[in-house]
Chains A and B, each alone.
Chain A
Amino acid sequence: MKRAGFDNRWLPMLLLIPQLSIICLFFYWPAWQALRSSFYLEDPFGLGETFVGLKNYTRLWDSSQYMKNAWFTVWFATLVTFFSLAIALLLAVKADTVLRGARTYRTLLMWVYAVAPPVAGFIALIVFNQRWGPLTEFFAQFGWQMKIRLDYFDTAFAMIVASVWKQVPVNFIFFLSGLQSIPRSVREAALIDNRSGLSRFWTVTFPLLAPTGFFLLIINITYSLFDTFGMIDTILRNNPGDQPVTLVYQVYLDGFRGQDIGGSSAQSVVLMVLVLALTIFQFRLVERRIHYT
């Protein structure tokens, strides 16, 4: 991609130094430490260590609990991504077609984005409380006795609902903007060719939203993998028991809480590799989109 640019030699390096130096200090050095620690079993105070080779990695493969958490993470990411996108898309389409009150709806639907993750978790605990939670009572009407933190599925459900709740606003804004930037001529042509709203959506709107949709897909997956940490922490309150746990949270449990430096470092290296693959995938995909439009 040959672009027009400037020829200075020193200026760009000068401009890059702040970002690169911060990254070297606070990302690459810690990442290197994590990599190194993953081959040892060390005392957290730094007073002793034993070299154990790949042991910290192989035990993950053998651990059925790790596999269970990995599966849960995949399911969790998939469901949160899917529902956050689907609900946001539905709301965006409706907000786009409605003439009156569009701005009010937009405001009302947007603010949740700013809620801190621990607060979101706290709200989930209240709303799904085993005995008096409003949603627990609601579902009890349908014969579903929700027991979060006792029943694996119920807790997973609560986590997914809370994550979706927090993520819908961001997707909503992206989708709405995408919809509102579809040129008028295209809309009119669509009106003429397709009488049914549904067919209009699938043949015209959806393909035009695809670039936005793909971009959001990756953002949502990243969110569900990493940014749900605070919310999960609040719901499980450091007592995971037999409840669902994502891989990132497991790293926190073993490293931060359990002081198992070697074990948690190995887990984070595995996560790093997985997210690297995801990042490359994202990069390639979005790059292609840029050329398309």
Chain B
Amino acid sequence: MNRTLITTTVATFGLMASAAYAETEITWWHGMGGHLGDVVNQIAEGFNESQSDYTITPVFKGSYEETLTGAIAAFRAGEQPNIVQVFDAGAATVIGAQGATIPVQDLLEQNGADFDIEDYIAGVRYFYADSDGKMIGMPFNSSSPVLYYNEDALAKAGVDAPATYEDFEDIAPALKEAGYIPMVQTHLPWEFVENFHSRHNLPFATNNNGYDGADGTQILINSPEMAMHFTKVKEWLDAGLFGFFGTSWDDNKAHFLDQSAAMYIGSSGDFGGLTAMDLPFKWASTYLPYWSEITPEGYQTFIGGASLFAMAGHPEEENAATAAFFEYLTSPEVQYMWHRETGYVPITTAAYEMAKEDGHYDRFPAAETGIKQLMLQSGENTAGYRMGFYVQIRDVENRELSKFLNGETSVEDALSTIEAEGNELLGRFSQTTTN
């Protein structure tokens, strides 16, 4: 009987002890497939092993769109995850919904973490912030558009990589002579529209690029600069100095890979895949070109990719867990690991410094281009943009610009159509956020 008593007592104490140490569990919904998903899992494991108060479980919820819709449906049903990954074009929907998320800055400060926005690289600071500069979403997988070039091809033509589009016009004929399509690009809206505005510090939308609110925001795409740029692109296309192969990223990039194109505009994150493919030629990257006639020096670019949002409606302990995770995520070691494994830019200067000290950029010079570009000079219009229904607006941009490049419409009609349909969509969006 004594033994029973002892066993029971020990068991009870054991139960009480484990109850006291019950870990707070949080969930993270993301849309990272393939290798990226593996690194996400690595980060989660690292966090879980680094402490014993919290456990995070990442769940792959499909594409970016499926993840967002899943999170929204879950929110309506009261089953939302703690952290959700939201892509750039969907950010306006999430931020515009008052009360759906807790701003990351608030979350961190409320839970006693130091938060200084200056710790973050200039170009990433304000994209997911509000008009007062408070960070609402935490940039997670960010990239910047850069120009990759085939060094062998350029050497063969006897030219250097261009810094401006004027430079490009100078060197393109030689490249064509040498048997290449001088340049292709992979994403018309991101590279030739959104980041065009940032690189030249041109306003992209009214209301401070949309940050001041959705009410009355209009898109400013129908500008002389845009018309000039696209007219030039079409001229290059017709003269064989530029190649356009549809709206698919891969279809265009493929021409660089098989050496029919000498340069391509892509993402700073591409270099990982390029390295892995062991290409039979030397390549390097440089900044996205700009027109020196519009601005003498180029500005920083917007970031692309996705960010993490903390969803509202969770108890205090879970919010504390979320804050702890964000702290872990933004630590230099983790940022450096993420940057190294995936090619996305590290979001803090500390991580960047760590990578430099580790000699990462000696091994992979192309990895640094994106970060350095995000640290170029900033202007009033380089923080980012916030437009609702931007996914649909991007579709309109893709559609009209494709038609224009295919010769089915004029540049004036294309830009006016984008403007008209874009503004109609923005007007509709502002009505959805009215309470």
**A–B interface present (Cβ within 8 A):** yes
- C-alpha spacing A40/B400, complex, angstroms: 28
| Nearest Cβ on chain B to A259's Cβ, whole angstroms | 5
CB of A222 closer than 8 Å to a CB of B: no
- Greatest chain A CB density within 10 A among B244, B245, B254, B432 is at B432
The answer to whether A256 touches B406, judged by C-beta atoms less than 8 angstroms apart, is no
Asked if residues A240 and B398 are in contact (CB atoms below 8 Å), the reply is yes
Give every chain B residue within 8 A of A253 (Cβ-Cβ).
392, 395
Taken residue by residue from 374 to 409, chain B's Cβ proximity to chain A (1 for < 8 Å, 0 otherwise) reads as: 000000000000000101100100111011001000
Separation of A52 and B93 alpha carbons in the complex (Å):
19
Interface contact A41-B398, CB-CB below 8 Å: no
Q: List chain A residues, Cβ under 8 A from B93.
A: 43-44, 259
Q: B76, A46: Cβ atoms under 8 Å?
A: yes
Distance between Cα atoms of A173 and B93 in the complex (Å): 48
A45 touches B395 (CB 8 A): no
Among B68, B97, B254, B431, chain A packs the most CB atoms within 10 A around the CB of B431
Q: Are A43 and B96 in contact (CB under 8 A)?
A: yes
What is the CB-to-nearest-CB distance from A95 to chain B, in angstroms, rounded to a whole number? 39
* Cβ-neighbour of B100 out of A47, A243, A260 (below 8 A): A47
Name the A residues within 8 Å of B249 (CB-CB). 239
Contacts known (A241-B399, A258-B392, A259-B72); A48 close to B432, Cβ less than 8 A: yes
Once the chains bind, are A259 and B96 in contact (CB under 8 Å)?
no
Tell me if B431 and A41 are in contact (CB < 8 A): yes
Give the CA-CA distance A93 to B98 in the complex, in Å: 64
Complex Cα gap A238–B68 (Å): 14
- List of A residues within 8 angstroms of B100 by Cβ: 45, 47
Q: Given that A45-B76, A50-B434, A242-B403 are contacting pairs, would A149 and B97 also be in contact in the complex, using a CB cutoff of 8 Å?
A: no
State whether the Cβ of A130 lies closer than 8 Å to any Cβ in chain B.
yes
Instruction: List B residues 157-205 near A (Cβ within 8 Å).
Output: none
Q: List B contacts of A44 (CB < 8 A).
A: 69, 72, 93, 97, 432
Seen from chain B, the residues whose Cβ lies within 8 Å of a Cβ on chain A are 63, 65-66, 68-69, 72, 75-76, 90, 93, 96-100, 244-249, 251, 254-255, 258, 389, 391-392, 395, 398-400, 402-403, 406, 424, 428, 431-435
- 8 A-B contacts (beta carbon < 8 Å): A44-B97, A50-B432, A147-B246, A241-B246, A241-B247, A242-B400, A258-B395, A262-B428
Instruction: Other than A130-B245, A259-B389, give 10 A-B pairs with Cβ distance below 8 A.
Output: A130-B251, A131-B254, A150-B244, A150-B247, A150-B402, A239-B247, A241-B247, A256-B66, A257-B65, A262-B432
